[in-house]
């Protein structure tokens, strides 16, 4: 019999390169929220992928970028702290040919680290072979990477090869989590993140990332298969509040309906969801707000 392997794998990269999509696709469930807007992930999300002979614990981190507020500082610090104490580092880049300042900053952070580093070139569905070869050669010259793997997280292309490569670097070890467990994140946090994901989708380019969600109630009704969830959406401006609510409350209803469907799949129960929208100016720079929302 093959020895059981297990270990921790951090997924790093600048914002919007597909880190959350990659983790979700490998695990087969939506753990981290997905959006086409950068800096979607704010917390370190732990996802668990278990098979007969191995268990991979993924740390999906916020995108590393130049922070403009205290929340941004927290996000970057969270991502960079995961570089220590893991068994494998996945550095995800996308189809952009140039190695930009954020990628260069990450490369600087990786220099001198002995942990195996695998470069993942994502979004191969958006590039031809010539573009891929240019990217491959540019990053190979850094001499940092044990392997370079090209994938499409969105389409699931080459993820089996990536998974097998990760497992080859894991040490023999115990099963840290039960077979059925796919995340260690509290249900309240995932519920809040699902609501925030729907806000990003429904408001498109109208709302920046000055939106947070706090779950004030999450309680299963006695003798009923219904979970009551009350949530407050915080934004930074009155104009943003109006956009989130929408004309006649239609946009907020759409956000709630879409989030509720995902919550019901997550919880395996009917969900009664109530949403409120409040303005908290400059909340991303207020320590008390960040602590209340679990960012500090």
CATH number at residue 32: 3.40.50.300
* 227 shares its domain with 130: no
**What's the structural domain count of the chain?**
2
Say what the pLDDT of residue 88 is. Answer: 94
* 55 shares its domain with 160: yes
CB 62 within 8 A of CB 199: no
* 120 shares its domain with 259: no
CATH number for position 239: 3.30.300.20
Domain boundary among 142, 169, 196: 169
* 115 shares its domain with 258: no
Per-residue pLDDT tens over the stretch 48-58: 899 999 999 99
Asked if residue 271 belongs to a domain, the reply is yes
Q: Is the pLDDT of residue 65 over 50?
A: no
Asked if residue 217 belongs to a domain, the reply is yes
| Tally of CA atoms within 13 A in the half-sphere of 4 that contains its CB | 10
Domain boundary among 105, 140, 169: 169
Instruction: State the average pLDDT over residues 195-202.
Output: 86
Asked if residue 176 belongs to a domain, the reply is no
Of 8 and 206, which is predicted with more confidence?
Answer: 8
Q: Is the pLDDT of residue 185 over 80?
A: no
Continuous segment of H or E residues that includes residue 220: strand 212-220
Say what the pLDDT of residue 19 is. Answer: 86
Instruction: State the average pLDDT over residues 113-121.
Output: 92
Asked if residue 174 belongs to a domain, the reply is no
Q: Is the pLDDT of residue 219 over 80?
A: yes
* 153 shares its domain with 197: no
Of 295 and 239, which is predicted with more confidence?
Answer: 239
Distance CA 225, CA 97 (A): 51
Say what the pLDDT of residue 38 is. Answer: 45
Of all residues in the chain, what percent carry a pLDDT higher than 70?
Answer: 82
pLDDT band at 29 (very low <50, low <70, confident <90, very high): confident
Asked if residue 193 belongs to a domain, the reply is yes
Q: Which two tokens stand for residue 221?
A: 């009704």
Asked if residue 179 belongs to a domain, the reply is no
Say what the pLDDT of residue 286 is. Answer: 75
* 38 shares its domain with 158: yes
* 165 shares its domain with 191: no
* 247 shares its domain with 158: no
Q: Is the pLDDT of residue 206 over 70?
A: no
Q: Is the pLDDT of residue 33 over 80?
A: no
Q: Is the pLDDT of residue 66 over 70?
A: no
| CB-count burial class (<10 Å; 0-12, 13-18, 19+) for 17 | buried
Whole-Å CA distances, 221 to 232, 262, 272, 273: 20, 19, 10, 13
* 9 shares its domain with 156: yes
pTM over 0.75: no
Say what the pLDDT of residue 92 is. Answer: 92
Within 141-271, where are the H helices? 159-169, 187-203, 238-245, 250-267
Continuous segment of H or E residues that includes residue 292: helix 287-292
Of all residues in the chain, what percent carry a pLDDT higher than 90?
Answer: 39
Q: Is the pLDDT of residue 95 over 70?
A: yes
The contacts found for 127-130 with CB under 8 angstroms, 24 or more apart, are 127/95
What HEC string does 60-129 produce? ECCCCCCCCCHHHHHHHHHHHHCCCCCCEEEEEECCCCCCCHHHHHHHHHHCCCCCCEEEEECCHHHCCH
Task: Give the lowest-confidence range in 27-36, 90-99, 100-109, 172-181.
Answer: 27-36
* 47 shares its domain with 121: yes
Say what the pLDDT of residue 236 is. Answer: 85
Q: Supply the range of the domain harboring residue 258.
A: 187-292
* 221 shares its domain with 252: yes
* 10 shares its domain with 123: yes
Task: Give the lowest-confidence range in 69-78, 126-135, 158-167, 193-202.
Answer: 69-78
> What is the arrangement of strands in the sheet containing 212-220, beginning at the earlier edge strand?
212-220, 226-235, 270-279
Domain boundary among 169, 195, 223: 169
Say what the pLDDT of residue 132 is. Answer: 92
The contacts found for 160-165 with CB under 8 angstroms, 24 or more apart, are 162/26, 162/118, 162/120, 163/26, 163/49, 163/56, 165/118
Say what the pLDDT of residue 86 is. Answer: 85
pLDDT band at 182 (very low <50, low <70, confident <90, very high): confident
Please, what is the average pLDDT of the chain?
A: 83
Asked if residue 180 belongs to a domain, the reply is no
């Amino acid at each position: 019999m093959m020895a059981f392997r297990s270990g921790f794998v951090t997924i790093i990269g600048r914002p919007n390169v597909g880190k959350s999509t990659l983790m979700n696709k490998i695990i087969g469930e939506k753990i981290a929220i997905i959006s086409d807007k950068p800096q979607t992930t704010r917390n370190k999300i732990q996802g668990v992928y278990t098979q007969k002979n191995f268990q991979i614990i993924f740390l999906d981190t916020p995108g590393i970028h130049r922070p403009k507020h205290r929340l941004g500082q927290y996000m970057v610090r969270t991502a960079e702290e995961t570089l220590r104490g893991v068994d494998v580092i996945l550095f995800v880049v996308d189809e952009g040919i140039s190695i930009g300042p954020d990628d260069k900053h990450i490369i600087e952070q990786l220099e001198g680290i002995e942990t195996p580093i695998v470069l993942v070139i994502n979004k191969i569905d958006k590039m031809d072979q010539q573009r891929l070869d240019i990217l491959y050669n540019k990053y190979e010259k850094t001499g940092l990477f044990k392997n370079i793997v090209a994938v499409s997280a969105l389409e699931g292309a080459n993820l089996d090869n990536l998974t097998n490569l990760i497992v080859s670097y894991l040490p023999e070890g115990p099963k840290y989590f039960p077979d059925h467990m796919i995340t260690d994140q509290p249900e309240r946090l995932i519920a809040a993140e699902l609501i925030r994901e729907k806000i990003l989708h429904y408001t498109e380019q109208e709302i920046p990332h000055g939106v947070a969600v706090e779950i004030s109630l999450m309680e299963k009704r006695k003798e009923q298969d219904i979970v009551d969830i009350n949530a407050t959406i915080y934004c930074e401006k009155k104009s943003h509040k109006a956009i989130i609510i929408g004309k006649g409350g239609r946009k907020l209803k759409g956000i709630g309906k879409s989030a509720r469907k995902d919550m019901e799949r997550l919880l395996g129960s009917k969900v009664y969801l109530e949403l409120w929208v409040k303005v908290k100016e400059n909340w991303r720079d207020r320590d008390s707000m960040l602590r209340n929302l679990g960012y500090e």
